[in-house]
Structure 1
């Protein structure tokens, strides 16, 4: 089944724009875009547009030539010009750009689908020949979303339908975003989404690992959780916190570290009423202005390997769980690849083999679940100014598709539920 709208005009009564297998899908699902009813070899413009919950418009366009039968298939036919060129089945989605500079797709409510309008237009006159509305859902049927305010825990819990048991993941993010956690819950994980900065970052004096240990214990005790240990999904500042959880807190079985640092960044880290790691400091005078007005912050962090900073390095060799290290090679926020390489070397020096690593040439800092618009620059939560995140859109989009599958495989491998538990639940 598919949902299709087409406009009846003098030259377009037979033109149909279709999304297969369905125009209603999950945010992280690909769709097959097909146009039929065109003239043989007709040149047309394909467009996509959407508006986020802050009213920012995102759009893309690409020129295609129909085949001899008057059809276009985006998984077969190349774009000749526009927002991208070549065969890119989902190019109209990942190449969308905001209508104003330094904006990132903003969606606070995962219960509301992300709506994209696809359309096909006459190349010369620009008149619309057909349009279809794509509803891209973040939350699946039966997945529950519950606010959690217990002790020091302030987060959102996503639980799959059914009795379980399910593997459990703690999702750490710097700013409020539930999309990644919710999409992971659709795949059969209990996911608790925690925002590191409930207060303004400038007001924070330190981070307490005890608060996050509470979140870990909450997941361990949940009635639907069956994995022996907890997984942690993280990016950027959240990634060094994830490393510290693995090193100091029992029960962390699997950590996904995405474009983070190998040291404790910016704020002292405390645990059990004492400081366990001093902060690796930042020098904001090293921010470099770019032509677009966004700032390049790649060289703001002090060198964690310098002798005077070695106390800030996180002792990941203490961890009993497994690591998936992920680095983008065009990360402009900081040098994630260098930090990853150092951690790999550190673990090898200690005789550890509890890790795997992957790097993505051409990808930028903000790796997300796939098929959203690529964000090259936007406001940074800690300095309230636009910064460059990096990434070439095509390479970045391909990295997101590959990584999203890898994350799920990694967690399923290391957070598998005990067969005896499953039998007992049944």
Structure 2
């Protein structure tokens, strides 16, 4: 490997997962054509990689923020293209990064043009999920299980309950990154984590009520109203939490349904919503071996299914509805339209909606590998998630900033609120 060519990652080779890192190459020959590569291994041992061809300028320099890729995993000026365009080394694999304690390690390298190409320079990018000073505390209290993330300092901070997806286990990525941006975040598992059941047949809102009360009791939380963020199946859970439970000031719904789906919903031991079911025979096979499943759910608007619609007009807080128009898992845009029409019909204006034409189902914190398809636990087969990689990546950057702005605006807190809350807690303690 040549010691002359230099590959730099700016402003630092270590950054947060959701931060843009600038890739620059220097000391090449004037107008030299090279291949720049990125490679990473996820928590399941799956290798993801990307590559792009660049031509150096007259000074022998390449700047991915400025220069276009001539070919490879993408073309054109894409400053973070090597990150979002990484693909798995086997079909139907989704990038797995759920543990917040270890960084997402990406190896960048520069190679001579043609074939494998001799390596000229390399650099390692550590993309951490927890910013400096963020505290991570596993929670095993009452009936719920999760992990609490708290920013450095005494606060007060806005609080968010992260439901992530409906799958078993626990994902810490989004929660830890939100905490790194100044939020107290509790991410909870519904099943399949720690000593919890491996599967469930019904969902109880009491579980989330307990989690919300836990969040509100935290010393660093300065507002009695919390936020809720969701994705996919947990989208309808978030709607129900906002509609039936007190203390929710802001709810982010991402690519979910307008009805309670898959499992009946209970509260105080009584069923409050039946489940909108699906017909797996409606999935459409494709040549890739993955299936399209955005039409498997029954129509929530038919007379026999209307009971599953969530009465979101009861919610006291505000909603941010986020729909990907190329979602091949749910018909998210249609479900969002149903909710917007329902709220307007009830004279409600407590919502805003955002659509992304070229995005697919899994809208996550930005700069992770785009996932075209992976195994679906409910369907029991690999499915297509939809979206065009470049458009999907741009949507993730945009919505990630919008989510933070939405929560900060609605859940802002100050020292006066925090002092008042502490006084109330002290009085309550003295009365016990």
The bucket for the TM-score relative to the shorter chain is over 0.9
Does residue 1:184 correspond to 2:174, yes or no? no
Structure 2 CA distance for aligned equivalents of residues 195 and 154 of structure 1:
6
Residue 314 of structure 1 is aligned with which of 310, 316, 321? 310
Hey, what does 2:35 align to over in structure 1?
A: 45
* Shift in Å, 1:108: 3.5
Residue 7 of structure 2 aligns to a residue whose secondary structure is strand
Residue 224 of structure 2 aligns to a residue whose secondary structure is strand
Q: Summarize deviations over 1:363-389 as a string: whole Å, max 9, x none.
A: 000000000000111111323421111
Hey, what does 2:327 align to over in structure 1?
A: 331
| Contact 2:293 2:383 survives alignment (8 Å) | yes
Hey, what does 1:96 align to over in structure 2?
A: 86
| Contact 1:60 1:92 survives alignment (8 Å) | yes
* Shift in Å, 1:107: 2.4
Q: Aligned runs of 1:66-215 on 2, under 5 Å?
A: 66-124=56-114, 126-173=117-164, 174-175=166-167, 176-198=170-192, 203-215=199-211
Q: Aligned runs of 1:193-342 on 2, under 5 Å?
A: 193-198=187-192, 203-342=199-338
| Contact 1:201 1:381 survives alignment (8 Å) | no
Structure 2 CA distance for aligned equivalents of residues 20 and 108 of structure 1:
26
Structure 2 CA distance for aligned equivalents of residues 247 and 187 of structure 1:
27
Residue 370 of structure 1 is aligned with which of 366, 386, 404? 366
Structure 2 CA distance for aligned equivalents of residues 34 and 218 of structure 1:
46
Structure 2 CA distance for aligned equivalents of residues 144 and 379 of structure 1:
33
Structure 2 CA distance for aligned equivalents of residues 211 and 26 of structure 1:
31
Q: Report the aligned-residue RMSD.
A: 1.5
Residue 59 of structure 1 is aligned with which of 28, 35, 49? 49
| Contact 2:30 2:58 survives alignment (8 Å) | yes
More deviation in 207-216 or 167-176?
167-176
Q: Summarize deviations over 1:151-180 as a string: whole Å, max 9, x none.
A: 111111111111111111000022321100
Structure 2 CA distance for aligned equivalents of residues 193 and 251 of structure 1:
17
Structure 1 CA distance for aligned equivalents of residues 5 and 198 of structure 2:
55
Runs of 4+ off more than 6 Å: 199-202
| Contact 1:228 1:417 survives alignment (8 Å) | no
Structure 2 CA distance for aligned equivalents of residues 203 and 25 of structure 1:
37
| Contact 2:191 2:198 survives alignment (8 Å) | no
Structure 1 CA distance for aligned equivalents of residues 99 and 247 of structure 2:
31
* Shift in Å, 1:422: 4.9
Q: Summarize deviations over 1:303-327 as a string: whole Å, max 9, x none.
A: 0111211111000000000000000
* Shift in Å, 1:202: 8.7
Q: Summarize deviations over 1:239-294 as a string: whole Å, max 9, x none.
A: 10000011100111000000000000011000111110011011111122211111
Structure 1 CA distance for aligned equivalents of residues 75 and 88 of structure 2:
19
TM-score by length of structure 2 reads 0.93
* Number of aligned positions between the proteins: 415
* Shift in Å, 1:421: 2.5
* Shift in Å, 1:195: 2.1
Hey, what does 1:4 align to over in structure 2?
A: none
Structure 2 CA distance for aligned equivalents of residues 111 and 142 of structure 1:
13
More deviation in 255-264 or 378-387?
378-387
Q: Summarize deviations over 1:62-119 as a string: whole Å, max 9, x none.
A: 1111111111111111001110000000000000000001111112421111100011
| Contact 1:201 1:382 survives alignment (8 Å) | no
Residue 222 of structure 2 aligns to a residue whose secondary structure is strand
Unaligned runs of 5+ in 1: 1-6
Structure 1 CA distance for aligned equivalents of residues 233 and 202 of structure 2:
13
